[in-house]
Homo-oligomer: A and B are copies of this chain.
Amino acid sequence: MKKRRRFWTVVEKLEALIDKGVYPAGSRLPAERELAEAYDVSRPTIREAIIALEVRERVEVKTGSGVYVTDFAGSDSSLKSISAFELTQARALVEAEAAALAAATIRETELSALKQALDDMSSAEKADEADQRFHEIISRATRNNAIVMSINNLWKVRRNEPQVIAAYKDVCSQGIEQRIKEHTAIYDAIAKRDSSAARKAMHNHFNRLINALFEASEAKALEEIKRKTDETRGLYSISHLTK
């Protein structure tokens, strides 16, 4: 599986070095010829890699001078380490309002699709997909592309941020019937076109999630403390001396 073009591997290596701080923001990269020798590729290949980094706005090329690392500090604030708590709180707020809106604007066909998603949540293998579908139907039912975009972006964080994925992993699997119960409440409220009930039901759903996240993280924190304590205990223990 080495069919990828060479410059991509150079891009990855250089980007890793930039992220690692070996080439800090504002600093100059080694000359193209040096890089070519260092990575054992030709100069055009290095040029291609630099162009890729330039398109990604990681570096800036100054003719006759060199390649300089872009100051990327604030620019990538969109991916500034979002925790599972933050994400869930944000989702609670946005999706609750979306549900309230959707209760007023949803169509019959969407309502039946929502029911279908709810039913699909019962089967274990479809559950996660159905969950996502459920929320997406509601977001689209708002007839507001800005809201759809916002919720989509939050889902992107949900899918891409490692710490979020890890945190949700522990929580999602447990309490399936509880999850279905909450989604049913959301569905019922929307079906009744009751905006404030829909908002409340959605809030309730996410509240439970946040609490579950809290408990899980508490449990993990306790475990961590215990582990460290054990380590320390091992360090200072004198039991091995008396054995």
Residues of A near any B CB (own CB < 8 A): 3, 5, 7, 44, 47-48, 51-52, 55-56, 61, 63, 77-83, 86-87, 89-91, 93-94, 97-98, 101, 144-150, 152-154, 157
- How many copies make up the complex? 2
Determine if A147 and B3 form an interchain contact, defined as CB atoms under 8 angstroms apart. Answer: no
User: With A3-B63, A7-B51, A48-B51 known to touch, is A146 a contact of B152 (CB < 8 Å)?
Assistant: no
Partner of A148, one of B61, B77, B93, B101: B77
Q: Smallest distance from the beta carbon of A91 to chain B beta carbons, Å?
A: 8
Determine if B80 and A145 form an interchain contact, defined as CB atoms under 8 angstroms apart. Answer: yes
Determine if B150 and A90 form an interchain contact, defined as CB atoms under 8 angstroms apart. Answer: yes
Partner of A77, one of B90, B98, B149: B149
Q: Which residues of the other chain, B, contact A78 by a CB distance below 8 angstroms? A: 149, 152-153
Q: Which residues of the other chain, B, contact A55 by a CB distance below 8 angstroms? A: 51-52, 55-56
Determine if B150 and A81 form an interchain contact, defined as CB atoms under 8 angstroms apart. Answer: no
Best-surrounded residue of A7, A86, A91 (most CB of chain B within 10 A)? A86
User: With A77-B152, A97-B93, A153-B153 known to touch, is A146 a contact of B52 (CB < 8 Å)?
Assistant: no
Q: Which residues of the other chain, B, contact A44 by a CB distance below 8 angstroms? A: 44, 47
Determine if B82 and A145 form an interchain contact, defined as CB atoms under 8 angstroms apart. Answer: yes
Q: Which residues of the other chain, B, contact A47 by a CB distance below 8 angstroms? A: 44, 48
